[in-house]
Structure 1
C-alpha cells in the first residue's frame, strides 16, 4: 500500500536552504495499524529537524513542477523501487524515507530506510515493541535529531515565559527545545517570580501548568478610635493600626468602633503595593428624640400629681343621717332619684413602669362638688318627708394595684390603665337649721386612657379620660377628664440601653471619610470639640 502526504509547508514553495524530506509509508500489519502508524509519525515529525512532507499527492505535485524527463516508473508518483536514490537526485530534495510497519512477536516492528542526496548507502533503522508511539519516536530519533517541546499554561494567563534566560513569549505558549534540562522562569507584574527546572526527552511534548502566587499586598488603616475593627469585603480582617493582607484589586472597607459612627469606603490596590488609609471617624451621637425615647424606656419609679374634673350621678341609697333625734334617709334629689354633680380636685399616683407594662401601687383622687338643690329626706320612724337643702359633696377614690400598658413614639406616649377601686362619698346639707351628712362607700371598676408627653427624661405631662363604674345601689357611671404632671426616677437601666456621653453635641454633620494623610479642616474642628486633635487620641 502506498501512502504519500505532506506536513509543513507546501511542496511548491521549497525554501532555499531548508532541508526537505519526503516520506513513503507502507503497512504489512493491516489498515488500522497503518493509520495508527501514520498518526504517530505525524506527531513525532513535528519535533524532527528539517521539513518533512508526508501528505498524499505531494510527490506527484513536485514531479509536475520539474522540467526534466523522469523515468516512467516515476509517473503517478510511483517509486522506482530498484533505484529510489535516483528520485532524490531527480527532484532535488534532501532525502526520501521509506517506512514500513509490520506485526512482531512483541507488538509492532517499524523499519525506516533513509535515502540521502548524492547517493551513498541508505540508512536503515529497525525498532520493535508494544508501545507504537515509543517505537516510532525511537526510530525517527535514530534518523533525525528530534527536538522536544514544552506547552506552558499559567493561572492567570499573560505571564512572560523565559527558557534558559531567553524570553520566548507569554503564557499560554509552546516552546521548541532540545532534549535535556532547561531552566524555566515565569514573570508577571504583581506576582512572585516562579522558577522551575524541567527535563524533556527526545521528541517529548511536555505540558507544564502553574498557578502564580500574588505578591504580598497590605493595607494599614489609621484612625483615632482605638482598635477599630476593619472589615474587608464584609469579612473581619483585622484592627486599625496593624497591617492587613489583601488581594490585589478593588475592595470594600468598613471601619467599626464602639462609640463611633461606622465608615464604609471602596479602594483599589495594586499587587505588591503597601498602602496606608486614614479615615476620620466621628463620635456617635444619637438623635435627641431617639435618645430620649431610649431613656424613657428604662425601668423607673414615678410620682404623678394633677387635677381631675368628673361628672357623677349619686343616689346615696342606704345612707342615713341622724337629725334632731330622728334617722333620715334620702328619697329624691330635686325630683330625681339621683343627683348629677360635677366634681373637681387633685389626683395623686405612685407607680412603677417597665418598657411597656407597669403597675400603679396606689392612686388617690380627692374631689369636691358644690350643690344648691332641694333634697327630700324621709324619717325612718315616722315615714315623714321633709325638704332639705344640699350644700355640697366630697369624693375620695383609692386605686390600689392598677395595671398599665404603654407605647412610646419618641417623646410621646399612649397609656391605658384598668383595675378595681374603692370610693368614699359624702353629702352635707341643712334641714331647718340642722346640719347633716350622708356618706356611702362603694367598690368600682376603673378604665382610663391617656396621652403623655415627656418634657425630659424625668418630667412629663399627662392628659386623659377616666370612666369609673360604681357597683353600689343607685350609683352608676362616673367619668371625666384629668391632667397631671409626673416626675420619673430611673431605678434600673434596660439591658438594651447604653450610657451616652453628655458632653457631645447633639447634632453633627454626616461622616466624611478621609483617605490619605490629610483630614478636612471642617472634620478636624468637630473632632477637636470632642477632645481630639490632629487625628489622634487626646
Structure 2
C-alpha cells in the first residue's frame, strides 16, 4: 500500500503545483489583444523619438517622420534603422526581427550644431560671407555652423563690409539678412589758391613769351655787322 503524506504536507504540495502551472500559463500567454500586429510571415518596426520632424530610414529608404504612426512592416531579416535630422547626430541601429515580431526602436538624437541662413536684402547682389575670418560661401547661404559665438562678415565689391556677432545654438536655425551700403564717392575739394586761377597762368604765359621776344631783340642789336669788302679803316694823325 503506497505511503500517504500527512494532510498538511499534501496541501502544501498541491498549492506549489498549482502555482507552477499558473506561472507557466502566464509566461506562455499570447500578447494582449489590441497590440501591434503584422501580416503573416512578416515582422514590424516601431520607431519613437523625442526629436519631432526627424526622418526615419529603414535600409536607406525613407519611411516617414517622427512621430511615426503605427509600425512599418519588414521582412524577418536583418535591417538598418536610421533617424536623421539636420543639426543632430544620426541615430543608427541594426535589428533582426523574427516572423510576427515587432521591434521597438527608441531613437535619442543629440544636437551637434546649428544651421545658418543668410541672404542679401538686394536679391541681385551676391555677398561673400566669412565666419571668424574664413570664407564659407555666398548668399543665399544655408549651412551648418558649430555652436557657440562667432563673427559673421559680409562683403561685396563697391560696398562697405559689415560684421555681426552671432550666437549659434545646437539644433536651432538662425536667419539673417544683410543690406550693405555703397562706398561713398570721393569728395574733391575746390582749390582756391592763386595757382588754380586760369588767368594767373595766362599772365605767366604772356610774360614768358614777352621775355623771350625782348631777349631776341637785344641779341640782334648788339650783334656786330660785317664790313663791306675793300673797306679800310683810317686812323687819325
Using the size of structure 1 for normalisation, the TM-score is 0.21
**Could you say which structure has the larger radius of gyration?**
1
Higher helix share: 2
Using the size of structure 2 for normalisation, the TM-score is 0.41
Higher strand share: 1
